[in-house]
Structure formats: C-alpha cells, structure tokens
Amino acid sequence: MEKLIIKGGNPLKGEVSITGAKNSAIAILPATLLCSGTCTLHNVPNIIDVKLSCEILEQLGSKITWINKNSLLIDNRNITKTKAPLDLTSKFRASYYLIGAMLSRCKEIEVGLPGGCNLGARPIDQHIKGFEALGAVANLSQGKIYVKAEKLVGSNIYMDTVSVGATINVLLSSIFAEGTTTIDNAAKEPHIVDVANFLNSLGADIRGAGTDLIKVNGVKSLKDNVTYSIVPDQIETGTFMLAAIASKGDLTIRNCIPEHLDSLTSKILEVGGNVESYGDTLHVWSTNRPQKTVIKTLPYPGFPTDLQPQMGVVLSVADGTSIINESIWESRFQYTAELNKMGARITAQGKSAIFEGVEYLSGAPVYATDLRAGAALVIAGLIAKRHY
C-alpha cells in the first residue's frame, strides 16, 4: 500500500509541464493492434496503467521497446494469442479496449471483465450493444467476456448513455467493418478525438470525433511505421489548476491545451481565482479564499467528473456553502468522508454533496478511495494548516 506524507501550509508556486493523457494512452496502446506492423508513440505517460497495458499486449505477442521515459516503439507483427490474461485485465478499466481492437484485428478475443476505480456500477452494456450491432456475438461468463465475429458490417448505433469507453470501443471495432458505421450520442472527450486522430494517421476514415455523431467508413487495412504523440492530459492539467487555487499559489502550466479546460476555468473565475492562457501554457493563481459555487458534472464539454474531488477540496475551504451534483458516477463522494477527517464539513447524499466551507483543514491520516480522490487528498494535504 503506497503512502504519502505531506507537510502542508505553503502556497504551491512554480512551473509544471503536463504529460500525455492517461485515458488516451490506455486506449491508443490497444488501438495499435489494428496496425500489423510497428508504431512509435511519444508523450506516453509513464504510469502503472500504461505499464499494465504494455504487459498485456506483450502477452498477446506485441514487442514493446521503451525508447525513453515517455516514448515507445510497439511491434505488432506477431500477435499470437486471442486470450488476454485474466489476472492483468481485471486490474484496470481500459482492458476492455482489447475487445474492440482485437475484434478488428482477428475477430475474436477473450478478456477478463475490466476492473477500475470503485465508482459504483460500471456496466459495459453499451460496448456490447455496439459490437453486436456490427455482427459480433458476446458471451459473458465466469468473470470473462468472449467476443467473436464471422465478419463485421457497418451499422447505425445510438448510444443509450453517453459513454467514453463504449464510444472508443465501438470506434475500434468499426475501422475494418464493411460499409459505414455511425455512432450517435457519442462521447466527445479530448481523448476520444486523440484516438480518432491516431487511427486516421494510420489511414482510417473517421469523421466527427469530438461531436456526438461519429461516422466511420470501413477500410481494408492500416499503414504501419507511423509516429504519433499522445494529447496532453486534460485532467492532470485541471488538477494542477485546482491545486494552485486551493493553496492560494501561482502556477505556470506548460504543454497543455487550455481549451480542454474551459468549463473548469469558468468555475475557477467564478470562485475568485485567476486564469490566463498563452498558446499551450496556462497561468493560474489566487491570493484570496475561494468563494462558494454550485457544480454539476457532465460529459465533455461539461465539468469533468474526474475533476470533481479536486474541486471538492477547494469548496471545502470556500467562503460559504457550495453544492456538487455528480451526474456520471453513483459513488464518487467517498473522498468527502476523508476530507471530513481533516476538518471539512461536507454532507454527501446519493449524487449530491453540500460543502459548508471551513477556514482551514488540518492534517490527518486519510485513505485514497480512488485515483482522483487520491489527487484531491494530496491537494488537501498541501493546504492543511496543522500537522497531526
């Protein structure tokens, strides 16, 4: 169990450079399976989920060489297996992208059902709906999903729920499908656009990624020997922005895409923070106690659910009473109990939480209930006035 000891009470000041997006890299890595040769990826975040993705791909037959800390060469000429190791795939959420990718590559795959942060029910019914619409047959049993298709034929698919994972997975399975596939009510996150841009750089024919209607014209094959750089991480950028505001600090955030954070910037200005952007750089600072506000998380371009816990830390010390309505996940307020151990006054009920702002937080032993809750607790540790 990893443990961080944080001595807080100082404003966060300085410069930081954003790395590649986790939720793009763990989709683009399996997407390289659509290429029967080699791909070079740059700006790859050097994190556990990426290393897990690489380990799974290597067990399928990929050869992966790290060129430097954030670049790798992946050779998919000898993919020999169609069964992904259950012990690895159950460790994180994005293992389900192997289904869409391997359906396209060899029309058959068996994967352990995905794991991922405990945010409540995380069904994959929309993924399966898409695969079946293209002609595949899916069987779920004993914690595994086996998907097979004689052939894949383009279809018009309407997503009952706006789903990042299902949008990407159905996109992956449609690339070589005969004819045209449309994905309606698609998710629009920056990492979906990044996956589509990567596949189009290989010769796929995808239009409309980033809108709620994506159209894919099936192609016969993709190029190889392609080089691609992963998009900067929207959520990492937003986390640093909120750390600057919570700590009344002053951060220059480089190698980011400010436009991906418009909804957060608007809320930071609303609570009295300052944000200026210059090209791929953001300057974020604050000298005052944050003001109260109301947040509702929504699919992109709405306020991202993955920045909700970090915003919760800012609101826990804001002047006045704030509310967060979480519309995506049924269990994303577990972090509030941890903040209350630090002196916050938060009442979480179902998909809403009320934050009665306190003057300051105090140090305490707390537990990271999920990835973004962990980031939020680091910010809380940074601003805690007293050490326990």
Residues near ligand EPZ (CB under 6 A) are 23, 26, 93-94, 117, 121-127, 161, 163-166, 187, 305-306, 328-329, 371-372
Which of 123/365 has CB closer to ligand EPZ?
123
Q: How many CB atoms sit inside 10 A of residue 22's CB? A: 22
Residue 3 identity: K
Q: Whole-number minimum distance, CB 355 to ligand EPZ, in Å? A: 20
C-alpha torsion sign, points 163, 166, 172, 177: negative
Question: 13 - beta bridge partners?
Answer: 250
Query: β-strand 13-17 against 250-254: which pairing, if any?
Result: parallel
Place of tokens 């796929």: 204
Closer residue to ligand EPZ, CB minimum distance, 363 or 370:
370
Give the C-alpha separation, 299 to 56, whole Å: 29
Tell me if 263 sits within 8 A of 302, measured CB to CB.
Answer: yes
Query: Sign of the CA dihedral 56, 231, 308, 213?
Result: negative
Q: Is 7 exposed, middle or buried (0-12, 13-18, 19+ CB in 10 A)?
A: exposed
Segment (H or E) for 215: strand 213-217
106 counts as catalytic: no
Taking the least distance from each CB to ligand EPZ, the nearer of 129 and 292 is 129
Separation between Cα atoms, residue 322 and residue 358, nearest integer Å: 11
* Burial 57-96, CB ≥16 within 10 A → b, else e: beebebebeeeeebbbebbbeebeebbbbbebbbbbbbbb
- The catalytic residue among 35, 39, 117, 256 is 117
Q: How far is the CB of 360 from ligand EPZ (least distance, A)?
A: 27
CB of 38 to ligand EPZ, least distance (A): 25
Nearer to ligand EPZ, 100 or 290 (CB): 100
Query: To the nearest whole angstrom, how small is the minimum distance from the Cβ of residue 196 to ligand EPZ?
Result: 15
Cis-peptide, bond into residue 232, ω within 30° of zero: no
**8 vs 232, beta carbon nearer ligand EPZ:** 232
What's the min distance (Å) between Cβ of 163 and ligand EPZ? 3
Beta carbon of residue 214, minimum distance to ligand EPZ (angstroms, whole number) = 15
357-368: b or e for each residue (b if 16 or more CB lie within 10 Å)?
bbebbbbbebeb
The separation between CA 53 and the C-alpha centre of its own chain, rounded to angstroms, equals 14
What tokens does 63 get?
Answer: 């050869």
Name, in order, each residue with C-beta under 8 angstroms of 48's C-beta and a sequence gap of 6 or more: none
Closest CB 161 distance from ligand EPZ, rounded Å: 4
Question: Is the CB of 186 or the CB of 384 nearer to ligand EPZ?
Answer: 186
CA–CA separation, 324 and 295 (whole Å): 5
Q: Which is nearer to ligand EPZ, 15 or 330 (CB)?
A: 330
Positions annotated as catalytic residues are 117
